[in-house]
Structure 1
Amino acid sequence: MQLLAVPMASSGGGGITLLLPLILIVGMIWFMSRTQRKQRDRQAKTVAALTPGSKVITTSGMVGIVEETDDEYVTLEISDGVLIQVVKAAIGRVIPEEDTTDEVTAAPATADAQPTADGQSAGDQAEAEKVDVPDTARDQAAAKADGKVRDAPKLPPTHTEN
């Protein structure tokens, strides 16, 4: 019996198959570091733009108004007369100023308001459309007035029973 050594066929391109995972890993690390760099730049711009009177939220969730800024620290007023000093890096975000002039859009009711087809004035209709609160007492009274017994609306359970 004679054994012959036969050379195995080479798969070809062995170097590329080893380099591909390495290239993918390096690409992922580069992408993640780029994203973190953008976040750091955005945070630095936010901290640099702090001015007294700005309303901010710290990274720990405290809300305050900027009273004074230093090189390293920011003094916040968290309540009337209560001042705290935090590191600038602890400022999470600045709350934009709210514009309250747009919120007042309802027209004032006038004495000579014309009633609509159903007998309500336009102001009464606007109030009726805004408020949508179920009145269980009124519903129960209407059910009894008809002479028919109806089920009253039930509220969901507030706790679990064992």
Structure 2
Amino acid sequence: MQLLAVPMASSGGSGITLLLPLILIVGMIWFMSRTQRKQRARQAETVAALSPGTKVITTSGLVGIVEETDDEYVTLEISEGVLVQVVKAAVGRVVPDDDGVDDADEPMIDGTAKDTVDVPHAGKDKADGKVQDAPKLPPTHTEN
């Protein structure tokens, strides 16, 4: 018995076949870095525009009003008389004002604000004012 080595047929497009995935990977890396650069620039603009009286949310979820800023830190008032100093990079976003509308300016209907809704007996027991548990659903199967 004699075995012969036969050369494999070449498709001719092997260079393109190897180059296409490489081009796609490089393109994806470029696009992701471009997006990150835009986010960093937006964050830098937000931090640069901080001024006293601005309401902000930090990246950890802390909400406060800017009291003062310096080169590295921002002092936030998180409650009346409670000041916290955080790094400027920790400021996540600025909370927009409520379009200058005060709650006192809202029209009142029968002594209540327009947006309030009266829900009678909303989950409260009449007798002692405690909240009742939610009603339980019947079992969906029987146990044997």
For the aligned residue pairs, the C-alpha RMSD in angstroms reads 3.0
Question: C-alpha displacement at 1:2, in angstroms?
Answer: 6.4
Counterpart in the other structure of 1:105: 107
1:32-47 to 2 correspondences below 5 Å: 32-47=32-47
Mapped partners of 1:79, 1:135: distance in 2? 31
Ranges of 4+ aligned residues in structure 1 off by more than 6 Å: none
Mapped partners of 2:68, 2:79: distance in 1? 15
Question: C-alpha displacement at 1:85, in angstroms?
Answer: 1.2
TM-score relative to the length of structure 1: 0.64
Mapped partners of 1:90, 1:2: distance in 2? 75
Q: Does 1:91 align with 2:91?
A: yes
Question: C-alpha displacement at 1:3, in angstroms?
Answer: 5.8
1:1-162 to 2 correspondences below 5 Å: 5-98=5-98, 99-101=100-102, 104-106=106-108, 130-134=117-121, 155-157=134-136
Mapped partners of 1:18, 1:79: distance in 2? 60
The structure that is strand-richer by fraction is 2
Counterpart amino acid of 1:41?
A: A
Gaps of 5+ in 2: 124-132, 137-144
Mapped partners of 1:134, 1:97: distance in 2? 35
Question: C-alpha displacement at 1:23, in angstroms?
Answer: 0.8
Question: C-alpha displacement at 1:6, in angstroms?
Answer: 3.9
Mapped partners of 2:122, 2:68: distance in 1? 51
When structure 1 is superposed on structure 2, of 5-14 and 27-36 the one drifting more is 5-14
Mapped partners of 1:65, 1:92: distance in 2? 13
Identity of paired residues, percent? 72
Question: C-alpha displacement at 1:67, in angstroms?
Answer: 0.7
Larger RCO: 1 or 2 (CA < 8 Å, sep 6+): 2
Question: C-alpha displacement at 1:79, in angstroms?
Answer: 1.8
Gap change, CA 1:8 and 1:86, over 3 Å in 2: same
Gaps of 5+ in 1: 110-125, 137-153, 158-162
Paired positions, count: 124
Mapped partners of 2:122, 2:70: distance in 1? 56
Structure possessing the higher radius of gyration over alpha carbons: 1
Mapped partners of 1:59, 1:95: distance in 2? 13
Mapped partners of 1:27, 1:135: distance in 2? 56
TM-score relative to the length of structure 2: 0.71
